[in-house]
Amino acid sequence: MSIQLAPMQRENMTARIYREIKQKIMMGELRPGETITLRSITESLGVSQTPVREALLQLVSEHALAPSPGKSVKVPELTEAQLLELRAIRLELESFATRRAVPLATPALVETLREIHAQLMESRRQQAMAPVLARNFDFHFALYRAAQMPQLVSMIENLWVQTASYLSYVYTPPFPTLPGRHPHEAIIEAVQARDVEAALREIRRDIEGHGEYLMRYLTEHQLLHR
């Protein structure tokens, strides 16, 4: 049964639907090219089409979804050039956020980063994709939010969601592991010491290392659009 919502209720419903779909993309539950229909969402949630349409349009405007024929949208399929461009932009913005955050770091932030990373490593041992992706997001954005620049954080999040669906290909057992110790461990040490350059070096190693692994995987499995 469809539920007709008052204007304020509809706004809240739109925000909830927006967050739920975005979360599915970020956690690798939706793969590139997968179609989302207006009807499927309205029926599964039991709501009217209006808040669903508004949520989908917002995600399309942020390039998290792409228009598709009929009353549907799809998870974007990116070309090699687009993936490389997004990674290059991420490197710049996330390095900037790190540069601003590290001098403002508190002992509470360091402890938060340690706790999140411990949870991430436990999820890695269990080879559980969604928790690993969630804790990785939590780790990075706990650091970036410390920069106290909410517009910058929003920009970085929009970049993440555009490529997050591709992680569903990579984070299937066995998970990728970069040479040496995990970059997060060195990031935590750098944040605690307020060593900006060390933190920047490890942020770049994290982004570039996993980015290169992703590109190799997509190429080897012929999943990369030219």
Instruction: Identify the CATH number of the domain in which residue 185 sits.
Output: 1.20.120.530
- Between the alpha carbon of residue 103 and those of residues 12, 141, 144, 192, 203, the distances in Å are 37, 16, 12, 10, 15
DSSP, collapsed to helix, strand or coil, labels residue 36 as: strand
Long-range residue pairs from 124-129, CB within 8 A, at least 24 positions apart, any chain? 124/175, 127/173, 127/174, 127/175, 129/27, 129/28, 129/167, 129/168, 129/171, 129/172
CATH number, position 38: 1.10.10.10
Based on the fold, state whether residues 40 and 101 are members of the same structural domain.
Answer: no
Look at residues 41, 75, 109 and tell me which one is the last residue of a structural domain: 75
Based on the fold, state whether residues 128 and 214 are members of the same structural domain.
Answer: yes
Mean pLDDT of the chain: 91
Please give the tally of structural domains in the chain: 2
Residue 8 has pLDDT above 60, yes or no: no
Check residue 138 and give its pLDDT: 97
Check residue 47 and give its pLDDT: 86
Of the candidates 210, 213, 183, the one whose C-alpha atom is nearest the C-alpha of residue 90 is 210
Per-residue pLDDT reduced to its tens digit, 104-126: 999 999 999 999 999 999 999 99
Question: Could you tell me the end-to-end alpha-carbon distance of the chain, in angstroms, rounded to an integer?
Answer: 44
Based on the fold, state whether residues 170 and 146 are members of the same structural domain.
Answer: yes
Mean pLDDT of 67-72: 86
| 7's tokens | 């204007």
Based on the fold, state whether residues 68 and 93 are members of the same structural domain.
Answer: no
Give the residue numbers spanning the domain of 44: 10-75
Q: Tokens 């939010």 correspond to what residue?
A: 145
Mean pLDDT of 33-44: 89
- Give the type of residue at 141: F
Q: Which of 130-134, 159-163, 172-176 has the lowest mean pLDDT?
A: 172-176
